[in-house]
Structure 1
């Protein structure tokens, strides 16, 4: 498997000395700026829902893929009614959609195998965007936000820096090591043996030991400062003391090489050396290096602030489902998942099905990204689209050609601020997280993009005729094994999964290599940010 979340050597060299805005652009888009990165200016209102069309996909997906709303801890949404002009609150043919949606559709419809409709008939699906195009739009939206208003770097203590991105190069504040130290437990010796052993010893963290005279030896611990005039360190297992208290090398013919088992001052770096470039993800190893190099705090790109709004009157926060009420699965799941994607989750608010409360929450939020659950369709209490029209938001993505999770959305709700609307059913919400929230938050946090990779499928996966499918899989050696319980309202499959397989329209055969999306807890670079 390919390593993930790493920058290339060229990235590391180029990132040095850049400001935060340039770092953000570099670590998230090694192709450099493009004209297409500019997002359209005027707001595009959400289209009114069309009615009367038959849903698509009922005859093409397993029964478990039909999202019923409220099932298995899910929230109301209509993933099963992802139809042209159907009931999901998305655009009908002839309606308006964002310029980014048109751009992504046109480019990916012609070029991308995941977005192409293999043998599809009929008009384009009411503004829904191919899955790869939706992810690119989310990343471009974040780049545009950063360029318009670059986040100022923050200074954080080491214990709070895990998962952040360095905003400036890490430069050594001292030599490493800062003095000659013993690499092993043993004896510091001067000159050729045998040696007279002094009664004192040299321990780590102690200084002021007198120099060694020729023919002398002194006990020394790993990491201790080498006494002046020391020739070498003789390891404990390579020495023996005779009855007269004299130290001999064992065996007798063992040569003492000057400098052996001594770590000289500056062996790893000299003060002022560039250790890591700006744009480096702060991992536990980076924290260790920073501490060794003399740092107490790091300058980093701040985490984007995220507020979660949980919609739905039918949701319980505790106890068993009863009387038409179901447990809220997304309230507990989303905050740690969003933190794993690099976000600072400032609050989780339960709004219910109150249009005014939703309007107030969105318009008064100070978060960089608002994440909502449910309400993305066109049901009688699905208030998200009307709220976005009311506040003049710009819909960048209004439906994605992906199953589950088709009725997800992304909107710009202010200068540098966005809203990600997730479907209410749990696995559909996970699809929205990985499709829209992940590239948006990763880019805002200046995290390196993971290297794409794929593995052959061990079993066939039935595909949707028009849309990409995201299917939970476990990794077994060099194969990806599809999991059952992959319906939009189900979490049983994703709870044991290592990744999601990106299954193109039409499905995938056994042995066919399929792109994989790692889950945060399976990747060391991202999974460190759950706390």
Structure 2
């Protein structure tokens, strides 16, 4: 089977996720951070719902001087001002009384010996009018938006107690390769497993739910062990990520296992370097719903490239998030092409996020370059990039607001 080009592979993964998205669920506001809106957020009332003072001062009616008749604090409904020449003291955020014609800032007012207030209103009104921010029923935030504290704040302002969110995909991880060490330094022909410790965190940053109980391995290098590991993961997970065994070597049992499971390939190998031997397959679970398996290469950087190529768009689709548009940055140094394949070159952004510098130590088995990078510069097949060229930039899936 020929390799799928990188752009097509991401689109196929996203579309597979959209087609298999599960039912929405309702969560309280305090549990909504990091989830995705399944429905548009609508204004339940006009915002503000009533005329609101934006200053501390006086609400006045008629010409000066004004005789104070009371005080209006936030959270109270004031009596109307009905007599010319009267006023009430008013606090920021308080409801403006009916009949008020202007607001005077306290620092721009004076009071005479009898307590009467004088001052000149500013030309622009000093209160917020009902519906100034939004009108009842208006769409404030579209479906597919990732929920962050600001979205939660808007929802609370409107009066929401809970939000309808997309289902969060449950993920599992299976580490293939019984030659791997799970503790201590590498040696005697064996290397330390670095994907088991890091992949759960990457999956969470992509929006999946995964716990330590859903991580297992190294799995014995037999077809029977691979099948058992995958079947057990499919019992509780919507997405199973495996590491290693994506080629067709003597101890690579992933493809035969997929055949035994009657799985179909969504993508089988991608024209990208590093990371070429990656795959995404779909199988039916016992409940009749689709399950996905993402086969990540065993080399660490290649595995992360497979994650951002196939797993991240799949999870975006499952969550109902829109396909992201990649930003464009200036590369500060030349970046070589990789023949007929897309080249994902690790790079670090400048402080403004407008230019990126390729980093060193970027072999497919290396992690040092990844730890010093913010993402990948994209060099199209059959091309090379010179310093100063504009290139698409694929960010690593970091937590909201996080910047290394």
TM-score (norm 1): 0.67
Instruction: Quote how far apart the aligned CAs of 1:260 are.
Output: 1.8
The question of 1:179 aligning with 2:54 is answered: no
What are the Cα deviations for residues 123-179 of structure 1, in whole angstroms up to 9, with x where unaligned?
A: xxxx33322232233223334x43xxx522211112222343333333322222222
Residue in 2 that maps onto 1:527: 400
The question of 1:160 aligning with 2:31 is answered: yes
Are the counterparts in 1 of residues 330 and 388 from structure 2 also a CA contact under 8 Å? yes
What are the Cα deviations for residues 343-391 of structure 1, in whole angstroms up to 9, with x where unaligned?
A: 2225532221323343123123232211112222344443322321222
Task: Give me the whole-angstrom Cα distance separating, in 2, the residues matched to 1:176 and 1:227.
Answer: 17
The question of 1:494 aligning with 2:373 is answered: no
Task: Give me the whole-angstrom Cα distance separating, in 2, the residues matched to 1:409 and 1:393.
Answer: 12
The question of 1:345 aligning with 2:219 is answered: no
Are the counterparts in 2 of residues 340 and 529 from structure 1 also a CA contact under 8 Å? no
Residue in 1 that maps onto 2:4: 129
Instruction: Quote how far apart the aligned CAs of 1:209 are.
Output: 4.0
Residue in 2 that maps onto 1:84: none
Are the counterparts in 1 of residues 166 and 319 from structure 2 also a CA contact under 8 Å? yes
Task: Give me the whole-angstrom Cα distance separating, in 2, the residues matched to 1:333 and 1:173.
Answer: 42
Q: CA RMSD in A?
A: 2.8
Are the counterparts in 2 of residues 163 and 528 from structure 1 also a CA contact under 8 Å? no
Contiguous gaps of at least 5 residues in structure 1:
1-96, 98-126
Residue in 2 that maps onto 1:307: 172
Residue in 2 that maps onto 1:269: 134
The question of 1:387 aligning with 2:226 is answered: no
Residue in 1 that maps onto 2:298: 424
Aligned residues: 390
Residue in 2 that maps onto 1:509: 386
The question of 1:479 aligning with 2:335 is answered: no
Residue in 2 that maps onto 1:446: 320
Which structure's residues are more often strand, by fraction?
Answer: 2
SS for the counterpart of 1:493 is helix
Instruction: Quote how far apart the aligned CAs of 1:428 are.
Output: 0.9
TM-score (norm 2): 0.86
Answer with 208-217 or 422-431: which moved more.
Answer: 208-217
Task: Give me the whole-angstrom Cα distance separating, in 2, the residues matched to 1:392 and 1:271.
Answer: 51
| Counterparts in 2 of 1:434 and 1:236: CA distance versus 1, 3 Å | same
SS for the counterpart of 2:210 is strand
Are the counterparts in 1 of residues 102 and 121 from structure 2 also a CA contact under 8 Å? no
Within the candidate set 199, 214, 220, 2:90 is matched to 220
Task: Give me the whole-angstrom Cα distance separating, in 1, the residues matched to 2:278 and 2:205.
Answer: 20
Task: Give me the whole-angstrom Cα distance separating, in 1, the residues matched to 2:378 and 2:188.
Answer: 37
